[in-house]
Structure 1
Amino acid sequence: MAKTKPDIIIILNDDMGFSDIGCYGGEIETPNLDRLAAGGLSYSQFYNTARCSPSRASLLTGLHPHQTGIGILTYDTGPEGYAGDLNRRCVTIAEVVKEAGYGTYLSGKWHVAKNLTEPTDSWPMQRGFEKFFGTIIGAGSFYHPNTLTRGNESAEHEATENPEFFYTDAISDQAAAFIRDHHRDTPDKPLFQYVAYTAPHWPLHAHDEDIARYKGRFDEGWDKLREQRLERLVRAGIIDASWVLTERDPTQPAWENAEEKEWLLRCMEVYAAQIDRMDQGIGRIVSALEETGRLDNTLLLFLSDNGACAEDIPEGVNVQSLVDDLMIAQAETRDGRPVLLGNDPSVMPGPEDTYQSYGVAWANMSNAPFRLYKHWIHEGGIATPLVVHWPKGISDQGGVRHVPGQLPDLMATVLEVSGAAYPRTYKDNDILPLEGVSLVKSFGADYERQEPLFWEHEGNAAVRVGKWKLVRNYPGDWELYDMDADRTETRDLAAAHPERVAQMLALYEEWAARCGVIPREKILEEMKKLGGTAFWEKDEDEE
């Protein structure tokens, strides 16, 4: 363990699958993340919360998202019962470590505030960050993002006045600048920085030179590439050789039967380029730490906010609604050309005047060897890479850890390494007790976790106790899996273990009641009374 307080940097990216980056079996070139993994630890069973806003709320606070007011997203969705606004029953990591003498910085996506244009007490500067540059909303053009903000002021001009502006680069460069400025002004003060990329969330936007690097990389198609990813994950010691690859998503054709292959390949090439560009930026952040002599005593963590995203962007969507109401798109490019919104195979993604997603089949590959996606609590929706690098605190360089963990554990970890105290009250507000378990014990060696893990999102739910996971794809039945023998969830054992199912379901229901989970049935009943469907079901592309 380090003798002095370490710097702490959490890097979160957006909508990336379990096996996309190089050190987790993927074809995408991520030399900087690979370097961090080789010099630190890779976790095989770390979990997010299946969706952008809930994951961010949980990571920042050490609580489950429902406790923070972020049960679904951040729009005012009315009778579904969650405020969509980070409440005052929680504290952020920034608020806590600031009290312990840390400088606090955020570069990137926020997405835990309902008001997207006016500062409120759920904005970054009001929740412990001394400096902030990024977006308040959760998605949008990488060339001209909505809600671009510096401090509490609009920074839209930084995109409109700079033809070279690209949001991924801006996040990276600002993060590196925060490190250099902090070291120049307060060299002996520890820093905490949260770097929150929007890559590779749709829309598929990337530079031509990055896209060109992946020409031909995916030509074998999703079926063979899923098999190859599993083989590399097994060789890396991340996946057990006895676990079988899940079947291809039944809604998708075999690669040999797929139509519009040129467009499909381009979609995956652009997606890869988005991650590649992010990795380049992470390299610049690491360089800033090296130049300032801070890298050795920096605890750096990298992970994704949910599994890969299978959401389609259909043609014919009301563009103006996405611009005015949801604030996740632009109707025109900065030089006045119309944005072509929708997955039209005659339009190749990448440039500023396109707005597309890469679809179910590639998301299925991104999550290999698991099934299902963002929104769901099966492994494809919640399993994330977790790379942890801390030269002064971790001696097992290149090690793999299999102990399960989830987002609230990051607050607990930060508390332990920083020496900060988690408060019972903060600014005259009672604060809910911390839900997480520190990862620091696992820095030295693997161990068996005793505490259960819980999830719920849109009725999809799970509880994991030891090797057993009880999970539901709402409104289906509860399924039971032995995660030691079958982490890819191919053999449902619920019928063979009814007593275990009942015990675990009781644990889940107790947790759900304590943490303010609103039963899905109640939400749908309320919506039916109003004669409509839930907001997020009408607009799957809202986030």
Structure 2
Amino acid sequence: MPRTRPNIVLIMVDDMGYSDLGCYGGEIDTPHLDALAAAGVRMSQFYNTARCSPARASLLTGLHPHQTGIGVLVENDGPLGYPGTINNRCATMAEVLGAAGYTTAIRGKWHLTGSLHAPDGHWPTQRGFDSFWGIINGAASYYDPATLTCDTEPAGELPEDFYLTDELGRRAAEFVTEHSEASSDPFFLYLPFNAPHWPLHAPPEAIARTRGRYREGWDVLRERRYQRQIESGLIDGSWPLSERDADVVPWAETADTDWQEQRMEVYAAQVELMDAAVGTLVEALTRTGQLDDTVIMFLSDNGGCAEELPTGWVDELSHRPLHTPTRTRDGRRVRRGNDTTVTPGGPETFASYGKPWANLSNTPFREYKHWVHEGGIATPMIVHWPGGGLHRGTDHDPHQLPDVLATVLEITGADYPRDVLPLEGRSMLDSWRGTPTPEHPLYFEHEGNAAIRIGPWKLVRKYPGDWELYDLASDRTELTDLSAEHPDRVRDMSAQWQEWADRCDVLPREQVLRATGEGFGHVSDVQLSSWRS
């Protein structure tokens, strides 16, 4: 018989688009996640917050990220901006479950504090986790990651064949095995991968498995993903596929197609290696007899990332980001950026896959990480719990990150503390069991990009532009702006969004820009993120 309090496994990937997994329409080979989806719940309308740190803050606290002190990333932009470190007005999932008798562990990326080299009271083991192995920073080389930490100390020497994603899967499985031997208490395991966030790093044998898969280019592959999504019941076939991004040329007119293929081949290899690491964890749960009694949740922190990295030798840059090593572990210089003369994948490179392939990742939607149109906030969300009475199949109810902790509380019976901000989310458990959940508004803001969704209606703006209005029931790809036809709805929904923003500590974007010294037209947020993420 399953225990009354199941284990909780929460897996988050970084910068992966809505359609990359096989079970969400992609041609990337993800058998382990596909199997979890086939035996569980695949959510079609789950939303993140459009960016790394805010998504993690919201996921772990059940609040909107601004309430936790992390409105953008982990830079301290006070006193007029966000402090950039998770605050004491919230409780993490680890703190809540630890108080309820759970053993808690994190294996992966933290990215919730601006103090990257010394514990500041907000490192993982100071915010409820019994153990931590991973990176404090927001991005890293997969072969030689900066800020690699064990609990609160540097992780030490790495083996010659080290690759971060593989190691996280191995250490997550090791935790499961050791815990099953030592304790009968339930556990909470948080596994936030760095993959597939840039840099494009993967071992040659993994890249070889994807070779040639992208020869037909992004136009053909977007159409194929779109058709598979319709056929599987993930999306409504009446929603048109969004047009290719205006900044992306047709594949037939693309220069350097060999290099463009190589970029996506490495990205696909990164996703496949992440899937294999999930398989390593699932095998450990199965071998120890705990799979049926474990709730596994999988999602991405934002949509596909269109960031292009500027080129240059890292040791010659006037400002070297912490996450970028100057040389490989065997002494070779590291070439940063999307240089068409450099084949990505090895430790001497540090590239991204850019807007053309991010446009593919986010099929069928438009926009990307940073923005709160569907391409920036729609995420795959898979739930697997054999002993939980879930209704297998696709769940079309809309939900967002604050709903995760509310759901975990209902599943585990853990008490939420009284001395922090009240939860913002609502439980998804009934929805996962086949009973549609009551409609509730969903709210978003990042870098001035804003949205509110009420039922099928979504009001959204791309800062500093005007509000746009979409009926997602008939147009989830956001192609027909209805704001001019429904001015009263725009007025009412924008007023409701502002009430939420005022209540949840959302700072005016102009104020944040002044606080950071950026100002208008100084440098784009996407350019900044290439250095800060």
Q: Is the 8 A contact 2:106 2:191 kept in 1?
A: yes
Matched, 1:416 2:410: yes
- Residue of structure 1 aligned with 2:473, choices 477, 484, 488: 484
TM-fit CA distance, 1:121: 1.1
TM-fit CA distance, 1:524: 3.1
Matched, 1:166 2:163: yes
| Residue 336 to residue 14, structure 1, CA distance change in 2 (3 Å) | same
**Which residue is 2:63 aligned to?**
63
Matching residue's letter, 1:289: L
| Residue 395 to residue 91, structure 1, CA distance change in 2 (3 Å) | closer
Q: For each residue in 1:69-88, what CA deviation from the matched residue of structure 2 results, as whole angstroms up to 9, or x when unmatched?
A: 00000123456610000100
Matching residue's letter, 1:227: E
**Which residue is 1:428 aligned to?**
none
| Residue 323 to residue 534, structure 1, CA distance change in 2 (3 Å) | closer
Matching residue's letter, 2:176: I
Work out the CA distance in 1 between the residues paired with 2:315 and 2:114: 21
| Residue 403 to residue 531, structure 1, CA distance change in 2 (3 Å) | closer
| Residue 405 to residue 317, structure 1, CA distance change in 2 (3 Å) | farther
Q: Is the 8 A contact 2:70 2:82 kept in 1?
A: yes
| Residue 221 to residue 532, structure 1, CA distance change in 2 (3 Å) | closer
Work out the CA distance in 2 between the residues paired with 1:312 and 1:341: 11
Work out the CA distance in 1 between the residues paired with 2:140 and 2:518: 33
The two structures have a TM-score, normalised by structure 1, of 0.95
Structure 1: segments with no counterpart, 5+ residues:
426-430
**Which residue is 1:338 aligned to?**
333
Indicate the SS of the match to 1:98.
helix
Matching residue's letter, 1:455: F
Q: Is the 8 A contact 1:448 1:466 kept in 2?
A: no
Q: For each residue in 1:355-398, what CA deviation from the matched residue of structure 2 results, as whole angstroms up to 9, or x when unmatched?
A: 0001101000000000000000000000000000000013433x
| Residue 469 to residue 217, structure 1, CA distance change in 2 (3 Å) | same
TM-fit CA distance, 1:532: 9.2
TM-fit CA distance, 1:210: 1.1
**Which residue is 1:233 aligned to?**
229
- Residue of structure 1 aligned with 2:312, choices 313, 316, 320: 316
Q: Is the 8 A contact 1:524 1:534 kept in 2?
A: no
Work out the CA distance in 1 between the residues paired with 2:94 and 2:3: 22
Q: Is the 8 A contact 2:110 2:124 kept in 1?
A: yes
Work out the CA distance in 2 between the residues paired with 1:92 and 1:158: 30
TM-fit CA distance, 1:458: 0.3
Work out the CA distance in 2 between the residues paired with 1:320 and 1:64: 40
Matching residue's letter, 2:330: D
Q: Is the 8 A contact 2:202 2:346 kept in 1?
A: yes
**Which residue is 2:440 aligned to?**
451
TM-fit CA distance, 1:538: 5.7
Q: Is the 8 A contact 1:111 1:137 kept in 2?
A: yes
- Residue of structure 2 aligned with 1:275, choices 265, 271, 275: 271
Q: For each residue in 1:107-154, what CA deviation from the matched residue of structure 2 results, as whole angstroms up to 9, or x when unmatched?
A: 000000110000121100000000100000010100000000001101
Q: How does 1:239-278 map to 2 (within 5 A)?
A: 239-278=235-274
TM-fit CA distance, 1:4: 1.4
Indicate the SS of the match to 1:301.
strand
Work out the CA distance in 2 between the residues paired with 1:217 and 1:280: 19
Work out the CA distance in 2 between the residues paired with 1:384 and 1:2: 30
Work out the CA distance in 1 between the residues paired with 2:138 and 2:350: 15
Work out the CA distance in 2 between the residues paired with 1:275 and 1:510: 39
Work out the CA distance in 2 between the residues paired with 1:90 and 1:534: 32
Q: For each residue in 1:200-257, what CA deviation from the matched residue of structure 2 results, as whole angstroms up to 9, or x when unmatched?
A: 0000000111111111111111011101101100111110010000000001100000
**Which residue is 1:433 aligned to?**
422
**Which residue is 2:463 aligned to?**
474
Work out the CA distance in 2 between the residues paired with 1:226 and 1:302: 23
TM-fit CA distance, 1:446: 4.6
Q: For each residue in 1:332-377, what CA deviation from the matched residue of structure 2 results, as whole angstroms up to 9, or x when unmatched?
A: 0001110011110110000000000011010000000000000000
The alignment of Structure 1 onto Structure 2 pairs a total of residues equal to 532
Matching residue's letter, 1:316: G
TM-fit CA distance, 1:61: 0.4
**Which residue is 2:358 aligned to?**
363
Q: For each residue in 1:165-222, what CA deviation from the matched residue of structure 2 results, as whole angstroms up to 9, or x when unmatched?
A: 1100111111001101111110x21000000001000000001111111111111110
Work out the CA distance in 1 between the residues paired with 2:360 and 2:120: 40
**Which residue is 1:402 aligned to?**
396
Q: How does 1:106-117 map to 2 (within 5 A)?
A: 106-117=106-117
Indicate the SS of the match to 2:225.
helix
Q: How does 1:345-384 map to 2 (within 5 A)?
A: 345-384=340-379
Matching residue's letter, 2:367: L
The two structures have a TM-score, normalised by structure 2, of 0.97
TM-fit CA distance, 1:540: 2.8
Indicate the SS of the match to 2:157.
helix
TM-fit CA distance, 1:327: 1.3
**Which residue is 1:47 aligned to?**
47
Work out the CA distance in 2 between the residues paired with 1:528 and 1:184: 53
